[in-house]
Copies of this chain bind each other. A is one copy, B any other.
Amino acid sequence: MPATPRTQAPPSRIRIQLVRPTIEEGRWPVKRTVGDIVAVSGDVFRDGHEVLRAVVRFRQNGETDWSEAPLTPVDAHHNGVRWAGEFPVDVAGPTHWTIQAWVDVFSGWRDEIARKLDAGQIDMSGETSEGVVLLRDAASHATDPADRSALEAAAAALENGEPVAQALDAGLAEIVERVAPRSEVTEMPAPYEVYVDRVLGRFGSWYELFPRSFGGFKGVEAQLPRLAELGFDVLYLPPIHPIGHTHRKGRNNTLVAGPDDPGSPWAIGDETGGHDAIHPELGTLQDFDDLVQAAAEHGIDIALDFAINASGDHPWLKEHPEWFNRRPDGTIKYAENPPKKYQDIYNLNWNTDDWQNLWNALLKVVRHWVDHGVRVFRVDNPHTKPLPFWEWLITEIHSTHPDVIFLAEAFTRRAMMRALAKLGFTQSYTYFTWKNHRWELEEYVDELAHTEEAEYFRPNFFVNTPDILTDYLAEGGPPAFAPRLILAATISPTYGIYSGFENFEHVQRPGAEEYIDNEKFETKQRRLDGPLLPLVQRLNQIRRDNPALQRLENLQFLETQNDALVAFAKREGRNLVITVVNVDPHTAQEGLVNVPYELGVPPSFTVTDLIDLGRYDWHVGGNYVRLDPWERAGHVLHVDTP
C-alpha cells in the first residue's frame, strides 16, 4: 500500500483493481506506438458513501515528473465502480502509469448537505460546523490570495449563520478541489508499463535480400532509390559476417561444399572474425556504414540478422571453449534436431558456468551494430535460446536505444511465440504463410486482432522466406502470388517479401517446403525487375495513404457467400477500406460481399479500387464481386463517402 500522509495510518480503504490494459496483472507491458492514445480503465471503490476521485498518472521514458489525466466513472453494469480515461504517448520506450484515487471530502459534504436539504432537514448546525472546518483547511493550503479570501469568506459566512445552501456554490467547490490536499490518497501497488515503440514497430513494409546476390553493400546501396520508390521501409539482410569453412554446406543443403560454394550466411564466423565482423566479399565496415546512412536518407532502416550460432571456425570456439556444448568424450556437438542436422553450426551452451560473460558478449554484439546505426534486428530462432536471456538483452538495449525493433523469427508453439512477444520482442513471424483457406485465415487473424494477444503480439506477415516456399505458391504458380501479396499487405500493418517472390519463383527442392537452388547456399545474380513489383509499389503507397491499413485490431471480416472470397473492412477515423481477395488461384470466383450497416456507411455509396482506380456503386447489403485469378486477384476498395 502506498504511504498515506499520517504515520501509522490504517491501510487504505480505497480499492483499485482489474486495471487495464495489462498482461497477467502487471507482469508484462502492453505495446503501443508513438502518437497513440492509451485508453485505461479500472475498478475504483471504497466502503461507505464518500465521493471518490481518480486520475491516471503517467511518466514517459526519460521524464522525472508524473503527469495526470482525468478518470471518470463509466459502465452502469459495474454500478459506477469502473473508471476510465486516457493518456497520450509520444516518447519511445517504457511509459509507466498508475491509477491514483482519493476521497473528495468537501464534495462528499456538499452531497450530504444537498440530500438533507432535499429531505427537508432544518437543523444543520452540526453539518455547518464540518463545512467551516473543511473550508478553513482548504484556505490554509491556498497559494493564491484570491482563493484564500474566497474560502475564508465562505467559512465565516457559514459560521455566522448564513444559509448552508450558499456553501453548495460550484465555484467554491472548484476552488476547494484545486487547493485542498487529497485525502486517503491511494495508488496501485506498483505502476504498470506500456512499451512505446516508434511507429515502424507497428507499421512497415519489409524487403529481404542477400547482399551477395546484389554485388555486396555497394551493389545494395545502388538499389536504395528503387527500394524507396517501391515503398519499402525496412531492408533486411541475412547475416553479413564471415562464413565458416568447416563442414560448409554445398548447394541445395548438400554436406560437401564445392570450392566455389559460398556457404550459408547463418554458419557465422571464421578465423577473421565472428558476429562483429563483416564478410570481406560484401565490403568493409565503412561500406556498411555508408549503406546504413544512404538507406536512412531514403527513409529505409537496415535490419540485421542476429543469429546466435557459430561455425566451427568462429573465434569464440578457441577463445571461449566453455561456451559450447561438449560431449564427455570432448567432441563439440553441432546443432541438430534429429533427424535434422546442422553440421555447419554449433550452438552455445547456455548452462555454462561462464553464462554472464556469454550474455555480455552477445549484448556487446548487438550494441556494436546499434553503434553502427542499426535499429532493427531480425532474431534467428529465438525460441531455442533462454527466455530470460532475451528479456535481459532487449531491456538492456532499450534502456539506451528505446527505438530498436526486434523481430522474432519464431515458428513454433503458440505459447512460446506469445512468451517471446510478452518479454519484449517488437514483432514476430507468424503462421500466415500456412493460412491459405478462408476459414483458417479468418480464424487466425481474428485471434491476432481480437484477443488479448493484440495487446502485445505484433505479426509481421512475410509472404515467403528463404526457408519457406509453401505448397500453395508452388502448386498455384503465378496466379497464387498476387492474392497472398494483397492479403499480407492489407491484413497486417507490417508485412514482408523475400526477393524472388516478385518473380513468381515457385519451384521447391523435392521433398522440402523450400526453394530449389536455395539462395542460402549459393550466390544469385538479382535485379529489382520482377513483374509483381508494380503491384507491390501500388500496395505500399495505398498502405501509406490509408491509416485504416496501418492497424490490425480494426479488422472485421465480411461475409461473401463464397468460401474462396476473403473480404474484410478496416476503419480508422473516417478512413474506411474494404479488401476482397480470391484465394483460389485456379478459378474465377464470384460472390456477394455483405456490407453491414454497423460499418457506419450510408445506404448507398461509391467505392474506388485503389489498385486500378475503378469506381463502383456499393450499398449496405450484398455487393456482387467477381475475381478471375488471371486478371485481378483482388480489390482494395476505398469507401468514398463513409
Interface, chain A (partner B; CB < 8 A):
6, 8-13, 15, 17-18, 24-25, 27, 43, 45, 47-49, 78-82, 112, 115-116, 118-119, 121, 125-127, 129-130, 132-133, 184, 327-329, 331, 333, 337-339, 350-351, 353, 355-356, 359, 383-389, 413-416, 419
Within 8 Å by CB of A413, from B8, B78, B116, B339, lies B78
CB < 8 Å: which of B49, B126, B333, B386 contacts A333?
B126
State the CA gap A118–B328 with chains docked (Å).
24
Q: How far is the CA of A379 from the CA of B47 in the complex (A)?
A: 15
Contact A328–B130 (Cβ < 8 Å): yes
The residue that A132 contacts in the complex, of B49, B184, B328, B419, with Cβ under 8 A, is B328
Residues of B within 8 A of A11 (CB): 386, 388
A78 nearest CB neighbor, chain B only: B415
Indicate whether A327 sits within 8 Å of B415 (C-beta atoms), given known contacts A47-B384, A116-B339, A388-B10: no
Question: Could you show 19 A-B contacts with beta carbons less than 8 Å apart?
Answer: A6-B353, A10-B355, A10-B386, A11-B386, A13-B386, A13-B388, A17-B419, A24-B25, A25-B27, A43-B415, A45-B416, A47-B385, A78-B415, A81-B415, A82-B415, A115-B339, A126-B333, A129-B327, A130-B328
One of B45, B133, B329 near A125 (C-beta < 8 A)? B329
Q: Collect the chain B residues with CB atoms within 8 Å of residue A353's CB.
A: 6, 8
Contacts A17-B419, A80-B413 known; A116 to B47 CB distance under 8 Å?
Answer: no
Query: Within the complex, what minimum Cβ distance (angstroms) separates A104 from chain B?
Result: 15
CA distance A329 to B45 in the complex (A): 30
| Alpha-carbon separation in the docked complex, A356 to B10 (Å) | 8
Q: How far is the CB of A628 from chain B (nearest CB, A)?
A: 38
Say whether B119 contacts A338, CB under 8 Å: yes
A331 adjacent to B126 (CB under 8 Å): yes
Residues of B within 8 A of A133 (CB): 328
In the bound complex, how far is the Cα of B329 from the Cα of A353, in angstroms?
A: 72
Q: Is the CB of B24 within 8 A of A414?
A: no
Question: A80 vs B25: C-alpha distance in the bound complex, in angstroms?
Answer: 25
Contact B24 A17 (CB under 8 A): yes
B419 with A15: CB separation less than 8 A: yes
Shortest distance between the CB of A190 and any CB in chain B (Å): 12
Among candidates B129, B329, B338, residue contacting A129 with C-beta atoms closer than 8 Å: B329
Which residues from chain B contact A355 at a C-beta distance below 8 Å?
9-10
**A10 in complex: contacting residue of B9, B10, B81, B350, CB < 8 Å:** B350
A356, chain B: closest CB distance, angstroms: 8
When distances are taken between beta carbons in the complex, the residues of chain B under 8 Å from A350 are: 10, 13
Question: Could you tell me the distance between the alpha carbons of A129 and B326 in the complex, rounded to whole angstroms?
Answer: 11
Measured in the bound complex, the distance between the Cα atoms of B50 and A351 in whole Å is 13
Extra contacts besides A47-B416, A115-B339, A119-B338 (14): CB < 8 Å = A8-B356, A10-B388, A13-B350, A17-B415, A24-B25, A47-B385, A48-B384, A80-B413, A81-B413, A116-B338, A119-B339, A126-B333, A129-B327, A129-B328
Compute how far the CA of A116 lies from the CA of B339 in the bound complex, rounded to whole angstroms. Answer: 6
Interface centre among A415, A416, A419 (most CB of B within 10 A): A415
For A45, what are the chain B residues with a Cβ–Cβ distance below 8 Å? Answer: 413, 415-416, 419
B79 touches A413 (CB 8 A): yes
Of A127, A328, A414, most buried by chain B (CB within 10 Å of CB) is A328
What's the least CB distance linking A448 to chain B, in Å? Answer: 16
**Residues of B close to A127: CB separation below 8 A:** 327
Q: How far is the CB of A621 from chain B (nearest CB, A)?
A: 32
Instruction: Return A288 CB to nearest CB of chain B, in Å.
Output: 30
**Interface hub of A8, A82, A338, A416 (most chain B Cβ within 10 A):** A338
Once the chains are docked, how many angstroms separate the CA of A118 from the CA of B340? Answer: 12
| Cβ contacts under 8 Å, A118 to chain B | 338-339
A49 to B, closest residue via Cβ = B337
Q: With both chains docked as a complex, state the minimum distance between the C-beta of A265 and any C-beta of chain B, in angstroms.
A: 23
List, in ascending order, chain B residues with CB within 8 A of A48's CB. Answer: 384
Q: Bound complex: CA of A25 vs CA of B27, how far in Å? A: 9
